[in-house]
Amino acid sequence: MTLRKPWMVGACIAGAFALGACSSMKAPSTADVAVSQAAVDNASGAEATEYAPADMRAARDELARAKQALASKDYRAASDYASKAQADAKLAQAKADTAKAQSVTATLQEDIRVLQLELDRARTSQ
């Protein structure tokens, strides 16, 4: 049996590879969205909503877009949005951690100042 239309065989093979590539994007995209959800949850737990509200809002918006793209089976877009959401969430968490550390530092510096004053008073009263 001879093939009269060899280009059809090539088209079928190319189509099979394309379908395989598309289906292989689903699992990584789903994982990307799950990792981004965890990053947003972690940042929220680290009080990033209070200390970095704009970054948290951006992270949540990107995560919502990632979920919409995943539902629409646009796996490349879902992965891209998920990466952006994760980056925004990590930035928000870093800003929250920095702000909390600065607050602790300021409190400790004030405590040291007060102790220094008390030491000075104790020395002058002797």
Residue 25, pLDDT score: 67
Q: Are 55 and 96 in contact (CB under 8 A)?
A: no
Query: What would the mean pLDDT of 28-36 be, rounded to a whole number?
Result: 92
Residue 58's H or E segment, with its range, is: helix 53-71
Query: What would the mean pLDDT of 33-54 be, rounded to a whole number?
Result: 94
**Mean pLDDT over the full length of the chain:** 85
Per-residue confidence band for 106, with pLDDT thresholds at 50, 70 and 90: very high
Per-residue confidence band for 102, with pLDDT thresholds at 50, 70 and 90: very high
Q: Are 78 and 70 in contact (CB under 8 A)?
A: yes
Query: What would the mean pLDDT of 1-22 be, rounded to a whole number?
Result: 47
The model carries a pTM of 0.70
State how far the Cα of 15 lies from the Cα of 21, in Å rounded to an integer.
10
State how far the Cα of 97 lies from the Cα of 62, in Å rounded to an integer.
22
Give yes or no for residue 108 having a pLDDT over 90.
Answer: yes
Query: What would the mean pLDDT of 117-123 be, rounded to a whole number?
Result: 91
Q: Please report, to the nearest 10 degrees, the dihedral formed by the alpha carbons of residues 21, 24, 29, 35 taken in order.
A: -150
Q: DSSP characters for 75-102?
A: HHHHHHHHHHHHHHHHHHHHHHHHHHHH
